[in-house]
Copies of this chain bind each other. A is one copy, B any other.
């Protein structure tokens, strides 16, 4: 039972039992729990064993499991509910949608677009994609191009690139892809998008953009470049989107 204390019941004063890993115990427990989620040992939506059971299994106190679970919760992998249990987080439409989709009307309400057209194909990775995804020149990527409507009007244009290696068979997917891609990534490929960097710029529409969005060439347009990271902090998606600047603002809450 005693792991770090030097005051064991026998007086041999052994310093500790194989410290080696210097990280706090709760951190190591948090890692083991996280890994079980990554490798699918516990699936999204599933109930995790309760704190005492885990404490028993890992031979630590319930308080340590508790602290570890806080770390895992903060990382966004689980949800705790008093009286019910602790559950592996499901990336819901709601979360992925309003967490990562930051468009708002000029008045401030958030926007919900509808799908319009979609093209999916595979090609070789370019230099930027190779370095971002950590893949080779020979490796291919899957490109998803979409137009979306808001109130029946073409409003957004998305260019999504993911590495073929992580998303096997995506290019040959039969049906239309779901509206929200991140829950789909999670359910089908076990890839959980947890954070993203975005760069917002103001550009003037070129011919292609103008045609797609049915606006005049040189109209002011919002462009968002996103790099998305999964729970292992790998780059898993590179996305470029354009939006009609007369219809939308990009909203963010800083804290």
Contacts and interface: CB of A to CB of B under 8 A. Distances in A.
Given A202-B245, A245-B202, A245-B203, A253 B220 contact: no
Contacts of A232: none
A199 B104 contact: yes
Contacts of A248: 201
30 contacts: A76-B255, A99-B254, A100-B254, A104-B199, A106-B201, A108-B199, A195-B253, A195-B254, A196-B253, A197-B252, A198-B251, A198-B252, A198-B253, A198-B254, A199-B249, A199-B251, A200-B200, A200-B249, A200-B250, A202-B202, A202-B203, A202-B221, A202-B245, A203-B220, A204-B220, A220-B220, A220-B221, A225-B249, A250-B250, A252-B252
Interface in A220-255: 220-222, 225, 245, 248-255
Copies in the complex: 2
Contacts of A204: 220
A194 interface: yes
Contacts of A108: 199
Interface of A: 76, 99-100, 102, 104, 106, 108, 194-204, 220-222, 225, 245, 248-255
Given A202-B203, A204-B220, A220-B202, A196 B250 contact: no
A236 to B, nearest CB: 14
Contacts of A251: 197-200
A202 B215 CA distance: 15
A110 to B, nearest CB: 12
